Structure 1
Amino acid sequence: MTGLVSRFALIAVLALSACDDNPPAKPAPAKTVQKSPAPTPVVPAPPAVAAASPIAQTINAATFDPAASDPDAHRNLLIRVQTLLDRAHFSPGVIDGRDGTNLTLAIKAFQASRDLPATGEIDKALVDTLTAADGGAVLVDYQITAQDVAGPFSPELPKEDYEAMAQLPAMNYHTPLEMLAERFHMDEALLQLLNPGVDFGAAGTNIVVTAAGADTLDRKVDRIEIDKALGQVRAFDKDGVELAVYPATVGSTERPAPSGEWAVRTLAPAPTYTYDPSRLTFGKPKAKLTIKAGPNNPVGSTWIDLTKDTYGIHGTPDPKLVNKRASHGCVRLTNWDAKELGSAVNKGAKVIFMGAEARVS
């Protein structure tokens, strides 16, 4: 999603509207960037001991078997690989136990960083390298707390009913299931599959969740590459070491993202969203509207403001759609990836857009 950024104090909540839908002016071409190999990541301790359920134990022990044909075994390995990539900061997006473009991109990036053939496929060398660096359980037990189910929760509304959204006091999660899935970087369907018949609104219930990454980086981000063709964001430190890779929705052929080199202006960790019909070509409202902050805000829970006016890197209320649908020009990440990047990015960090959009609006 995209947004017009108002002038604001650093301590204020940022007000946004959708990104300018006019093609941006073309600045000077981006400089050639040398990619340095990433070091072995610092992996946070899992939040609990390995889950006791039989399916969790099977997934925690999943290995690569080239002769395997069982779809459940393949799904189990995908869950393990996705979670380990997430913890290594090579984000597969939503952990869902499925093959897909975002997983392929994450695997390729990880393989390249470890001097493995960048095939994008799961093989023995990939699994061995991931597990040698991080042998911890990928599924753990978690007890739902009273705070988890207390809310407040917001009603679910049609995605572009901006007028109804503007009437809400906040854009909170809709259900405890949605909140828990996002906390553990999971698809809601996978969380339900691993916990059949569970009432996610019942405090005291034990569930199985992924031991996902910690949403933090151990060094500051000084340069960001945004690959419009691949739908990928890459973060580097001041020495050119690659710290993290994320799947992203980047503009569209109708409403392209900028080109060339820009910079990070500031960070808004709880942005509001302003719909301004005088600047936009999508949506139906006739008057200017402000939608309150929250994880289901149209720009998610984090906004990284760029020096290209009206453009930013931000979260989304629909994490499973990242790099699957077009945006209105800005760079859309999952909420947790946007939070991780925002927590580590330096003000003034270079932001380099490269390639051209391949996705049609």
Structure 2
Amino acid sequence: MHSASAPAFMFKRHFLCAALLAALAAPQLPAAAAQGNKIVPPAGATPQRLLAYFNDPATDPQSLAPGARGVAVVRAQVMLDRAWFPVGEIDGLYGTNMRRAVVAFQRSRGLKPADGRLNAATWNALRADAPPVLGSVTLTDKDVAGPFTRIPADMMERAKLPALGYQSAREALAEKYHLSPSLLRELNPKARFVAGEQLVVTDVGAGAAPPPAVASLRIDKSDSVLYAQREDGTVVAAFPISLGGRSDPLEPGRLKIANEVDNPTFWYDPARIRQSKATDTKAEVPAGPNNPVGVVWLGLSKPHWGIHGTPEPSKLGRETTNGCVHLTNWDVRRLASVVKAGTVVDVQE
């Protein structure tokens, strides 16, 4: 594995990837309608009652379809995450990323129809020996120590910072538990996010499937999904992604993983960024979870292109990139744990 101390020429070769998100939106099921609608039981429920409510399979409907929201959706999202078929942020909203995750999970388990609806057979496959989906944690000094710094929008100002860490304890905790910050707040409406405080969070680690044996990757551009496969082509994991649009397309073909860099810096070249300003200059942007390439870079055999994390997980599948393949920071770490240099990446329309 290469680290931040790797030779500068390697970073210049791979991190000129135009990784900032563009404003062009991809088709997505509407989520705005869920704003203002409570995902959790009415305000005033104690943490104990909240855990009991979320962890009760009896609350699951027999069928759940795209467009739904609520407790059952959260339950399904946590179990899909544990099974290596994550939806991106766990947010309680049954949107496009979740539908794609359900379809991939159904196909991997031979469930029919693989239509993206959570039917009885899919529920049973997800719930097999599944532990509770929510748990409680007591925040430690380390959880809330920071340092937390506001990240400026201007890339030249970002380059002046020592690191691009989290902006708040809430943001750090949401990423740790694969949650949207809004759902973390909804689960803990009175939280101050200080040491000694008890929080209700998703339990994405308990009962998680072991890392699968992965022989190759397949990027399906039509689905905005990255599939991990065995030698025989069986899908063992699937991740929601954002891809380049018409101006920066990832062309169909066969690529390979060229290298891996943990906690990378980002070499900003305004000539390669559509949103750059005339006054911008080349700069090395410091590492951190809010770095434009996130916490892990998997360089591809196509120069300047890579698979990497993103500081904006809520935008996965909703906006196009300037070229590279974006995953959530937690998913790209998982992906990096099961691939290596030389792993084939097939890009398909």
State the 1:156 CA deviation. 2.8
Alignment of 1:95-106 (within 5 A): 95-106=90-101
* 1:226 correspondence with 2:219: yes
Letter in 2 for 1:257: L
Aligned to 1:40: none
The structure-2 alpha-carbon separation of the partners of 1:11 and 1:59, relative to structure 1 and needing over 3 Å to count, comes to farther
* 1:128 correspondence with 2:120: no
The structure-2 alpha-carbon separation of the partners of 1:321 and 1:279, relative to structure 1 and needing over 3 Å to count, comes to closer
- For 1:76 and 1:162, the matched residues in 2 are separated by 39
State the 1:10 CA deviation. 8.1
Given that 1:172 and 1:295 are in contact with CA atoms closer than 8 Å, whether structure 2 keeps it comes out as yes
- For 1:317 and 1:339, the matched residues in 2 are separated by 14
State the 1:189 CA deviation. 0.5
Q: Which of the numbers 337, 344, 348 marks the counterpart of 1:343?
A: 337
Aligned to 1:17: 16
The structure-2 alpha-carbon separation of the partners of 1:10 and 1:226, relative to structure 1 and needing over 3 Å to count, comes to farther
Worse-matched range after superposition: 210-219 or 88-97: 210-219
The structure-2 alpha-carbon separation of the partners of 1:246 and 1:213, relative to structure 1 and needing over 3 Å to count, comes to farther
Alignment of 1:1-361 (within 5 A): 9=6, 14=11, 16-19=15-18, 53-62=48-57, 63-66=59-62, 75-116=70-111, 117-132=113-128, 134-158=129-153, 161-200=154-193, 202-213=194-205, 218-284=211-277, 285-355=279-349
State the 1:193 CA deviation. 0.5
State the 1:128 CA deviation. 1.4
- For 1:80 and 1:322, the matched residues in 2 are separated by 20
- For 1:67 and 1:104, the matched residues in 2 are separated by 13
State the 1:258 CA deviation. 2.8
**2:337 aligns to what SS in structure 1?**
helix
Given that 2:17 and 2:306 are in contact with CA atoms closer than 8 Å, whether structure 1 keeps it comes out as no
Which runs of 5 or more structure 1 residues have no equivalent in the other structure?
1-6, 22-50, 356-361
- For 2:180 and 2:94, the matched residues in 1 are separated by 13
The structure-2 alpha-carbon separation of the partners of 1:343 and 1:20, relative to structure 1 and needing over 3 Å to count, comes to closer
Which runs of 5 or more structure 2 residues have no equivalent in the other structure?
21-45
State the 1:18 CA deviation. 3.0
TM-score by length of 1: 0.81
**1:127 aligns to what SS in structure 2?**
helix
**2:257 aligns to what SS in structure 1?**
strand
Given that 2:61 and 2:72 are in contact with CA atoms closer than 8 Å, whether structure 1 keeps it comes out as no
- For 2:10 and 2:202, the matched residues in 1 are separated by 32
- For 1:182 and 1:210, the matched residues in 2 are separated by 11
The structure-2 alpha-carbon separation of the partners of 1:101 and 1:17, relative to structure 1 and needing over 3 Å to count, comes to same
Deviation per residue, 1:103-148 (Å, 9 max, x gap) = 000001111111111110122221111112x320000011111011
Q: CA RMSD in A?
A: 2.7
TM-score by length of 2: 0.83
Deviation per residue, 1:302-341 (Å, 9 max, x gap) = 1100000000000000111111111011100000011100
Aligned to 2:43: none
